[in-house]
Amino acid sequence: MHIRGWTVRAAGLPMVLDDREETPLPGDAIVEVAGCGVCHTDLGFYYEGVPTRHGFPLVLGHEISGVVVGAGAEAQAWLGRKVVVPAVTPCGRCEACRDGRGAICPEQVFPGSDIHGGFATHVRVPARGLCPVPNLEDAAVNRAGLALSDLSVIADAVSTPFQAIRRSGLAAGELAVFVGAGGVGGFGVQIAAALGAAVVAVDVNDARLAAISLHGASLTLRGDLLDTKALKSKIRTFAGERGIPSWRYRIFETSGTPAGQATAFSLLAKGAYLSIVGYTGKKVELHLSSVMAFDATVQGNWACLPELYPEVVDLVLSGKVALSPFVEHRPMATINETFAEIHAQGAPRRVILVPER
C-alpha cells in the first residue's frame, strides 16, 4: 500500500512528506488515518533529543484513529472497521505479557517511536491491540456527536490518565489532585470527576484552570504562585470539608516538569498515593523518606493496556468525558508550523492533525 508520511529526517529539521510502500504482514492492519493528535512526547522526540526507539528518519505520531483498509493474514476480520490505535501495543506472548505486565513488554509497539507513526495518510500497526469504535451514526451510542478523528486523542491523552486512575484505586468520594491540567491532566480531571471523586487541578496557566473548572475540577490552584505550605493547606481544607482523610488522596503528576514533580511529591500525606504520569528527563530533589514516614505509595504509569480502551471510548462517546472543548483540528500539512507553535507557546487545546484527502 502507498503511504505518504511527514518524515523527520533529523531532529528539529522541517518534516517532509515522504512516500513509501508498506505490505501488511500476518497480524498487521493498515489504518487509513482519520486524525493524529500532537503530544508532548512528539515534541520531546523532535526538539529535546529524547530518542525514538527506531531512530530517524521516522514519521512521528502515536494518537491515531482511522479505518482499517488493509490487513495481513489473521487480521482480515478488521477490514473496514473504524478503530483507535493504542499508543502502546504489547506483544501478548512474552513472559511480561503473560504475567499481566504488558506495559513493560520489551516487544511493545509504539507508533512514532518503534515504527512509522500517524502523521501520515496511513499507518501499519499490529491488529491485535486495535480498539473497535462503535457505530458513530447511532446517536444513542455517540451521544457526544464525535467524529472518528476526535477519537484519536483517546490513544494517549485520555487512556493514559484512565489507566493511572484505575491503578490508583480511586473511588467515588475520594480526593484526586492533578498537578498539570494540560492535555493529559485535563482529561484526568474529567475521568476522576466522572468516577465521583472530588477533584483539584493545579497548574501554572489560568486559561487551562478556567477551562477545567467547567469540566470537573472543584478547586483550581496556581502551583507557581502558592508556596508548598499554602498549597497543602488549601488542599487539606478542601478535603477536610468533604470528610476525606489523607489516605484517600490520589495525586497525579501530569505536568512532566521538575517543578510539577516537586509539587506533587510535596503533597504526599499519611497513606496517600502519588502516580507519576508525566515524563521529564530532568532530576528533582526530594525527601524520599517521606514515603516511609507517611506509609505512602508512588507508582509510575506507562501508557494504557489495549484491553482498557473500550471503556475509555465509552466514557468519551457518552459525553462523561468531554473532548470537543479540549481539541482542535488542523490540516496535517500545517504540521511544521503546528509543532513550532506548540513548542514556543504551548497549545490551549490538543491539536489533531487531519490528513488531506
The 3-state DSSP class for residue 4 equals strand
CB atoms under 10 Å from CB of 266, counted, come to: 18
Q: Which one of the spans 3-11, 172-180, 245-253, 316-324 is the region binding a second copy (CB under 8 A)?
A: 245-253
Measured in whole angstroms, the distance separating CA 311 from the mean position of its chain's CA atoms is: 15
Q: Which residue from 55, 80, 229, 289 is in contact with a second copy, where contact means CB under 8 A?
A: 289
Q: Between residues 199 and 303, which has the closer beta carbon with respect to a second copy?
A: 303
Taken in order 100, 104, 106, 109, the sign of the CA dihedral is: positive
Q: Does 171 bind a second copy (CB under 8 A)?
A: no
296 touches a second copy by CB under 8 A? yes
The grid cell for 293 is 514516614
Pick left, alpha or beta for residue 353 (phi over 0 → left; psi -120 to 50 → alpha; otherwise beta).
Answer: beta
Could you tell me which residues come within 8 angstroms of residue 24 by beta carbon, excluding any fewer than 6 positions away? 1, 30, 70, 71, 72, 75, 124
- The smaller minimum CB distance to a second copy, of residues 184 and 317, is found at 184
Quick check: 9 binds a second copy (CB under 8 A)? no
Q: How far apart are CA 158 and CA 160, in angstroms?
A: 6
CB of 81 to a second copy, least distance (A): 29
Spatial separation of the C-alpha atoms in residues 159 and 325, rounded to whole Å:
17
Taken in order 189, 239, 234, 276, the sign of the CA dihedral is negative
Question: Is residue 80 within 8 Å of 137, Cβ to Cβ?
Answer: no
185, 260 Cβ separation under 8 angstroms: no
Residue 178 CA to its chain's centroid (Å): 14
Q: Is 229 an interacting residue with respect to a second copy (CB under 8 A)?
A: no
Among 173, 287, 307, 346, binds a second copy (CB under 8 A): 287
Measured from the CB atom, is 74 or 99 closer to a second copy?
99
Please report whether residue 197 would count as binding a second copy according to CB under 8 A. Answer: no
Among 44, 245, 310, 319, binds a second copy (CB under 8 A): 245
Q: Given candidates 6, 178, 187, 265, which one binds a second copy under the rule CB under 8 A?
A: 265
* Dist CA 89 CA 112 (whole Å): 12
Number of residues that bind a second copy (CB under 8 A): 42
Contact 259, 280 (CB under 8 A): no
Helix (H) or strand (E) holding 313: helix 309-317
Among positions 49, 132, 300, 348, the unique one binding a second copy when judged by CB under 8 A: 300
Task: Select from 205, 213, 290, 318 the one that contacts a second copy (CB under 8 A).
Answer: 290
Choice from 220, 261, 263, 338 touching a second copy (CB under 8 A): 261
Which residues in 91-150 contact a second copy (CB under 8 A)?
95-96, 99, 101, 103-104, 106
User: Which span (134-142, 193-201, 280-288, 322-330) binds a second copy, by CB under 8 A?
Assistant: 280-288
Applying CB under 8 A, the span of 9-17, 61-69, 283-291, 349-357 interacting with a second copy comes to 283-291
CA atoms within 13 A on the CB side of 131: 29
Contact between 292 and a second copy (CB under 8 A)? yes
Residue 281 near a second copy by CB under 8 A: yes
Interacting residues with a second copy (CB under 8 A): 95-96, 99, 101, 103-104, 106, 245-247, 256, 261, 265, 270-271, 276-302
